[in-house]
Amino acid sequence: MFKVLVSDPISDHGIQQLIEASDIEVVKNTGLSEDELVNIIGQFDALLVRSQTKVTERILTAGHNLKVVGRAGVGVDNIDLQAATKRGIVVINAPDGNTITTCEHTFAMMMALARHIPQAYAKTVSGVWDRKSYLGVELRNKTLGVLGMGRIGSEVAKRAKAFGMDILGYDPFLTEDRAEKLGVKLATVDDIIRNADFMTVHTPLTPETRHMISRPQFEVMKKGMRIINCARGGIIDEMALIEAINEGIVAGAAFDVFEQEPPQQDHPFLNHPKIIVTPHLGASTVEAQENVAIDVSEQVIHILRNEPFKNAVNLPSVEASVMKKLQPYFNLGEKLGSFVAQITNHAIYEIHVDYAGELSQVDTQTLTRYIVKGVLSRHLGNDVNIINSIHLAKSRDVNVVESKAQLTKGFTNLITVTLKTQNKEERRIAGTLLNGYGERIVQLDKFPVDIAPEGHHILISHNDKPGIIGHVGTMLGKNDVNIASMQVGRKIIGGEAIMILTVDKAVPKEVLNDLVKIEELNTAQEIVLA
């Protein structure tokens, strides 16, 4: 008989599967202190929490029989993942439980925005009957731009079609085939900005998506756009949005999230007549709270019964001998994935990982997860980890392929990552560990190189002509960009070539734009490897 402790308030309906299981005993005991949990946790096989219980290393150490900790929600900040992993305890969450409720909140905000519902309500209950001030618009025959076509964005698009809207969908992993299946038109961010009547964002907040809609985008935006954000504060530049509304570019906005939560009392969103706000209610429904409990309960049962499970958020169990061989390559693999993703400009449909040398003789699935995490993190940020990376890739129709060979072109081990895109673009990178030098990138596309994968880099493609290196160095020097190292790769004299510069700090976009004005220089791009 397995014993499960529920230490936070969770409805019986949410954990009904656990309660009804013949081989599981459920004990509900909430509001326990750390000391109280330490004293009793040793008798339990599973612990189910929300956000109140802090699952510390002390608790996990005392949990001699613990096999799994389930978080009935998305975040796991209240659980010591490292301590759980060290003790072989699986930590799971429920990433899909709030999909529908956030989608519906987005639609509620869009309808309220289209018909001025909060403003009209406030005036009506204050005793003013004012029909003329709140002339709204229909959703039918309007164009909706969806930035981010993951779980929530796809559900929003599905419902918008039922309202008779035309959908423009943007996502870095959205291919033509998947867009067609979803019934949306594949678009760029610029397409949406220039053509949509309504725009809703459903992307994670990453360095790349932070302020992805800011002053430059508002300057070319279709006049009268209405904007909804129920995703993350910071994706849309709040101060730039205020200016765009005041200038008549944006007709109105509805925000459930803020860059700083809760916002300051003098935040301009809070008293602007054309902005609707709610206090981060996207996942706040009875059904969503029950759904996350149901999802976690199901996975807890699978784990206790030694059945296949999903939604783990910590490192899976790997044999010690295999881990010893793989671990030195984890950081390199993630950096290779990140680098090649940053130089790939189109929707990816395949991530091909080739292992050569001694790595071809062991189970490399865990290492592949790090590589895929590196690829996806460019667009998904902290939403991707080594457990869910393969699942997230598949959910976006990105195929992950492994191949192995013993020949290594002179290296003890060689990892080659190739990204294939829908427009037949292929980008390739290879790396290894060199004795005395550590992690090295040794190939980029068809060019041999020797680069340490860390810090800030500038990747330049150019024609192999005399004087280009000097022009580049002079321009960077004038802009106070110090070059730490330089690599040049070419196949033939006078032909296509690349230059990779390692620099000491971030490179301003204006400098990159000036670089491409140099004669015979084709592209210049910054690559950041944290």
Instruction: Show the tokens assigned to 434.
Output: 């060199």
Name the catalytic one among 232, 369, 378, 396: 232
Instruction: Provide the H-helix boundaries in 126-261.
Output: 151-162, 176-182, 189-195, 215-220, 238-246
Determine whether 280 is an active site residue.
yes
| DSSP H or E stretch at residue 122 | helix 117-125
114: Cα within 13 Å, side-chain hemisphere = 15
Distance CA 342, CA 201 (A): 22
Distance CA 101, CA 286 (A): 9
Determine whether 456 is an active site residue.
no
Residue linked to tokens 């409805």: 11
Distance CA 70, CA 8 (A): 11
Residue 444 near residue 498, CB atoms below 8 Å: yes
Q: What is the largest CA-CA distance in the chain?
A: 83
Looking at the DSSP bridge assignments, the partners of residue 227 are 199, 253
What is 238-277 written as a DSSP string? HHHHHHHHHTTSEEEEEES--SSSSPPTT-GGGG-TTEEE
Instruction: Show the tokens assigned to 402.
Output: 């492994």
Name the catalytic one among 20, 261, 307, 510: 261
In our burial notation (b when 16+ CB lie closer than 10 A, e otherwise), range 489-527 reads bbeeeeebbbbbbbbeeebeeebeeebeebeebeebbbb
In our burial notation (b when 16+ CB lie closer than 10 A, e otherwise), range 251-279 reads bbbbbbbbbeeebeeebbbeebebbbbbe
Name the catalytic one among 267, 280, 346, 471: 280
Residues annotated as part of the active site: 232, 261, 280
